[in-house]
């Protein structure tokens, strides 16, 4: 999109509550399914800062490798809760010995730099709780995908203990975001936009996922970022949109898990993964 597009044009790409008729249904399902998942996992919570939202939780996994997946939720940096993303954790627990779930502060009470620092601190807290030969696999959805990549860019020393990053329906263009309805709440300034708009993939292997029914900014920017490094890949998830892609890939038969296992083992990934919306 060009900078001359109107706020309405941009809102029509980003306001999922208006774009998707089932938006609220998926939010309700996330909460309900996460409550069920919490009964199957035994969580240990660790604070990484004094604020109420500065915490990570881990649970035992059942995978045979040394990779520790860590979920980072979305919400356009100003909403949603890590607890309501626990529904992804039973499937992710199959990737390694431990699974993590990371919470962070929200804007506008905190600034973007604070959120990025929270994610880095949360990842370090997970590292402090696991064996030294284990590595992390941050898995971010929407704003969580942006924060995972931004944290690694701002804290490159983390790369030594990160085996890869999985970006699901990431949002990376903060200039576009600043021209939308979100700006009234986020109050992004020019420095934040310039510093945290992502223009290339991180220097670790990264898998960019987007649903075939995503709006253009989520598909196009992910594919553009994937093209900036040889170690990055892009995977289209058909027929998903922004709100059902996690359920379709990381619940029921969890079709994304074997793809991730193959990718972590050094195999290439397909360009398209067809799934059933559960």
pLDDT attached to residue 1 = 54
SS3 call for 232: strand
CATH number, domain with residue 24: 3.40.50.1820
Count of domains for the chain: 1
pLDDT for the residue 6: 85
By three-state DSSP, how is residue 166 classified? strand
Task: Assess if residue 119 is contained within a domain.
Answer: yes
In-domain check, residue 192: yes
- Residue 1 counted as domain residue: no
Could you give phi then psi for residue 149, rounded to 5 degrees? -70, -40
With 0.85 as the threshold, say if the pTM is over it.
yes
Per-residue pLDDT, 81:
98
Domain that holds residue 139: 7-274
Tens of pLDDT along 167-197?
Answer: 999 999 999 999 999 999 999 999 999 999 9
Token pair for residue 126?
């997970």
Q: Which of 163, 179, 157, 226 is nearest to 198 (CA)?
A: 226
Residues of the chain with pLDDT under 70: 1-4
**Residue 94 within a domain:** yes
Q: Of the candidates 41, 45, 40, which has an alpha carbon nearest to the alpha carbon of residue 60?
A: 41
Q: Determine how many CB atoms are found less than 10 A away from the CB of residue 107.
A: 21
Residue 130 domain-assigned (yes or no): yes
For 70-105, what is each residue's pLDDT tens digit? 999 999 999 999 999 999 999 999 999 999 999 999
**149 near 167, Cβ under 8 Å?**
yes
199: in domain: yes
Whether 191 is in a domain gets the answer yes
Residue 265 domain flag: yes
What pLDDT is recorded for position 194? 98
């Amino acid at each position: 999109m060009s900078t001359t597009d109107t706020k309405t044009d941009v809102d029509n790409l980003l306001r999922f509550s208006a774009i998707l008729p089932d938006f609220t249904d998926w939010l309700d399902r996330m909460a309900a399914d996460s409550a069920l998942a919490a009964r199957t996992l035994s969580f240990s919570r660790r604070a990484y800062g004094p604020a109420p939202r500065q915490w990570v939780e881990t649970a035992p996994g059942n995978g045979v490798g040394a990779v520790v997946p860590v979920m980072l939720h979305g919400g356009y940096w100003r909403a949603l809760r890590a607890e309501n993303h626990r529904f992804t954790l039973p499937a992710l627990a199959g990737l390694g010995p431990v699974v993590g779930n990371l919470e962070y502060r929200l804007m506008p009470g905190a600034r973007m730099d604070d959120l990025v620092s929270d994610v880095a601190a949360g990842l370090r807290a997970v590292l402090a709780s696991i064996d030294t030969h284990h590595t992390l696999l941050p898995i971010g959805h929407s704003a969580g995908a942006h924060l995972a990549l931004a944290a690694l860019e701002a804290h490159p020393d983390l790369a030594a203990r990160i085996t890869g990053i999985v970006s699901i329906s990431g949002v990376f263009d903060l200039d576009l975001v600043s021209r939308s309805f979100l700006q009234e709440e986020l109050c992004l300034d020019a420095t934040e936009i310039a510093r945290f708009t992502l223009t290339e993939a991180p220097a670790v292997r990264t898998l960019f996922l987007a649903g075939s029914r995503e709006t253009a900014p989520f598909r196009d920017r992910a594919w553009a970022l994937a093209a900036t490094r040889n170690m990055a890949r892009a995977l289209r998830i058909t027929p998903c949109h922004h709100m059902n892609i996690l359920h379709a890939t990381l619940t029921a038969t969890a079709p994304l898990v074997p793809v991730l296992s193959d990718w972590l083992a050094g195999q290439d990934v397909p360009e398209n993964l067809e799934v059933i919306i559960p």
